[in-house]
Amino acid sequence: MAIKTKAGPKKIEISINGKAATVVEGTYLLNAVMDAGYNVPTLCHHKDLTPDGTCRLCLCEVEVNGKKKLVTACNYPVRDQIKVATTTDEIKKHRKNLAEMYLGRWPNVEVIQNIARLCGATDAEKYKSELTDENPKACILCGHCVRACNSFMIQDILGFAGRGIKRHLTMPFGDVDPHCVGCTSCSYVCPTGAIQITDDMNNPVDPELIRSHGMKVNAEMANLDALQNRMREVGTANIVEVMDAYDLLPVHNFKFGKHPDTHKIDSKVMKSKYFTQGAADACWLGCSMACAKAVDDFELKTGPYKGQKVVVDGPEYETAAGGSNMGGFDLDFIVEYNFYCDTYGIDTISFATTMAFVMEAFEAGIITEEYTGGKILNFGAMKETLECLHEMARGDGFGVEVGQGVRRLKEKWVKELGADPGFLQDIGMEVKGLEFSEYVSKESLAQQAGYAMAIKGPQHDEAWLIFIDMVNNQIPSFKDKAEALYYFPLFRIWFGLLGLCKIVWNDVAPADNSKYPPQEAAKIPDHVENYWKFFEGMTGIPVDEDKMLLQAERVFNLQRLMSYYLGYGTRKDDLPPLRAIGPATVEEYLSREERYDRQMKEDMGIDPEARTVEEKLSITRDYRYQQYNKVLDAAYKRRGWDENGIPTVERLKQIGIDIPEVMALLEKPEQ
Amino acid sequence: MIVVNNKEKIEWYEGMTVQDVLDKMGYVFPLITVSVNKQLVHKEDYATYEVPDNANINVFHLAHGG
Ligand code: SF4
Ligand code: SF4
Ligand code: FES
């Protein structure tokens, strides 16, 4: 199916000082002029901040349809085939005059002196007055700090007060604002040093190093995010519709990857009807990404707080996708289950994935209305789902049973109801007792392993490899996949250990990330470096890829050994249910018959013609488990683990954790 | 016939642009990099850059995932 993606902006031919140039529509004239190699003096302009055209030094002449006018280049977006002159006599005169005025007022500020030199202004006396400030670090009213506070931090702590010559910088009501998060962005962008940082609370070894990298992230958020993942606008929910488009959004207990009703729960609806904009419930004050969203004044329809208006933190992508997984394509429902899960202390992912499993079991006749206490639990049974949730919290009714999670339900229903263990194993989306998070991994071998091998169970916070594997086809061989299953979990564990968030790693990307070849680009090297520099800035210890991997590998192996000790760390614990690696039912096979038939022909060399669906299903199952086991073999080998997935003594020695306490874990597993 | 990401084959037609390929593939994710026969194509050129027959097109999606 063809989906209309957004076409990029068009290009415009312009002339600058008589020379032809091509610019993308909407480019600010100043950037176009600089790119063409001309130097224009600026004062209020800053490359990472929205221009506001106040200093008027960047004045250029623009000719549109034969009419000439003067414009401030920094905030003039090119939309027509214009002719530009950057230095006419009139402009020169104007700039010189302005520069003299600035020099008269702030004679000792270095940036002003530079501008004066550039504009040929030498007379500091001409505009000398009682306003003249001899301080070399005087505030020159450029507005960088005000705009940085606003666009980097989404705060308005700083502002200007007074008009004309009385204009001055201030905090609201002239006081120190308690909402200032101390991010130091304002100080960083200040060209004169007028704003000084007096406190480095965590005593980092090198605050400048940390700041310079942090500011890069701030600038990317301010300038690129709106064109990229829109994290500020809608947070992680931006990918609901993206996942649907790529057949990756879990629907009906991961049977399918898309649904015609997804548009009812996508980020557009969340934004227009639910999220309270501008009041992002950031995880921590001072994060320039501020991706967490909140819904204000949401009136609850069920449960102990029925009828009350509440604030709901979310929904995040996973919670919304949990909705589609249960067949609940209704944001009122999603926000309500989101609220009650948070309130009861229940994880939305485990809840939704368990509930989806219960629904499938109900539709398959394994459990009945009688068994569920009268609840008809087909996919999409939203009211009943909320009842289960309330029961779970109260500790009565069928909800208590749902609260056991997928693994225990499988065991219980086999034992007590005589259910088919094979079927429940195939459709029960858990590994190591933890429910899957909300992505369809069926067509990405690397992600299947990323999920099932994850130490805590199938969470994707060790590795999310679906795009690079399934869509980009970047890691085609088992060796490539194993390498990705080595690097990414270690990188993620490493910054997790530092207590850092992953969102600023890959939910915004430097504009020039494509300068790296794809294998490297996938790591987003400039952002990995940000994390390294943060570490170095805090501790004074430089770190590079090898050092990072070693630090992480020590912890990773220790975790695996602890998991082994507790009975969850061998090959059998890394095996996913069939549903995670391919079609598990006839219905599912038929829903993508063309794809599966083609794979049978092309990948397995088996002719699907004249075979029953059941036969094809079973051939596909065998093939996919074979493939999965090969990935596992390759990944174990790369990690230095034996065939059973246990870290080898040799590897423990190599990474320097062969100490007695660790070795003891190897000896006495608590099976 | 053109090949996308060394895997998917799609029919080529006269005047087919990069944007047409993205539409056909349903590639809606914003963080992508496109190259046609190893030549990088910028976003502003997607709608006008014509893809030659038998082209190898690479649409690199940056990893996502919470
Ligand atoms: S430190 Fe940050 S929050 Fe405080 S005024 Fe400066 S930019 Fe605004
Ligand atoms: S404090 Fe610095 S950044 Fe802010 S207006 Fe004054 S000179 Fe500009
Ligand atoms: S740089 Fe100040 S008005 Fe353009």
Query: What DSSP state is assigned to residue B4?
Result: E
C-alpha distance from B14 to closest chain A C-alpha (Å): 18
Using a 10 angstrom Cβ sphere, with 0-12 exposed, 13-18 middle and 19 or more buried, the burial of residue A112 is buried
List alpha helices for A24-69, DSSP H.
29-35
Which chain B residue is nearest to residue A464, measuring alpha carbons?
A: B65
Residue A177 burial (C-beta neighbours within 10 Å; 0-12, 13-18, 19+): middle
According to CATH, the topology of domain B2-61 is: Ubiquitin-like (UB roll) (3.10.20)
ipTM of the complex: 0.88
Instruction: Give pLDDT, residue A453.
Output: 97
Predicted confidence (pLDDT) per residue in A492-502, tens digit: 999 999 988 88
The phi, psi pair for A434, rounded to 5°, reads -105, 140
Q: Is the CB of A112 under 6 A from ligand 2?
A: no
pTM of the model as a whole: 0.89
Please report, rounded to a whole number, the percentage of residues in chain A having pLDDT higher than 70: 96
DSSP strand pairing (B56-61 vs B2-4): parallel
Ligand 3 centroid from CA A12, angstroms: 23
Residue A93, Ramachandran bin (φ over 0: left; ψ between -120 and 50: alpha; else beta): alpha
Place of tokens 């090198």: A206
Helix spans in A130-170 (H): 144-153
Residue A260: other Cβ atoms inside 10 A: 8
- What 3-state DSSP class applies to A339? helix
How many CB atoms are located within 10 Å of the residue A110 CB? 13
Mean pLDDT of all residues in chain A? 92
Q: What is the pLDDT of residues A151-163, one digit of tens each?
A: 998 888 888 888 8
Whether residues A228 and B30 touch (CB distance < 8 A) is answered with yes
Q: CA-CA distance, B16 to A380, in Å (whole number)? A: 41
State mean pLDDT over A250-264.
Answer: 98
Note the pLDDT tens digit of each residue in A569-578: 999 999 999 9
Q: Establish, for the pair of chains A and B, how many residue pairs have beta carbons separated by less than 8 Å.
A: 111
The domain spans of chain B are: 2-61
State the residue for tokens 């596992």: A632
Residue of B nearest to A463 (CA): B65
Q: Is residue A568 pLDDT above 90, yes or no?
A: yes
Averaged pLDDT for residues A317-322 = 96
Residue A334 host element (H or E): helix A331-344
Give Cα A182 distance to the centre of its chain: 24
Domains of chain A: 11-87 (3.10.20.740), 241-287+301-435 (1.10.569.10), 472-667 (1.10.599)
Q: What backbone phi and psi angles, to 5 degrees, belong to A72?
A: -80, 115
Q: Cis bond leading into A315, ω under 30°?
A: yes
Instruction: Say yes or no: B11 contacts chain A, CB-CB below 8 A.
Output: no
Strands B56-61 and B39-41: unpaired
CA distance A287 to A274: 22
Cα A403 from chain centroid?
30
Which residues of chain B register pLDDT less than 50? none
pLDDT tops 60 at residue A4: no
C-alpha distance from A599 to closest chain B C-alpha (Å): 12
Query: What pLDDT shows up at residue A202?
Result: 80
Interface test with B, best of A233, A471, A503, A520 (most B CBs within 10 A): A471
In the predicted model, is pLDDT for residue A429 greater than 70? yes
- Tens-place pLDDT, residues A431-440: 999 999 999 9
- Predicted local distance difference test score (pLDDT) of residue B65: 62
Exposure string of A144-161, with b = 16+ CB inside 10 Å and e = fewer, is bbbbbbbbbbbbebbeee
Tokens at A322, concatenated: 């949990």
**What CA–CA distance (Å, rounded) separates A386 from A341?**
10
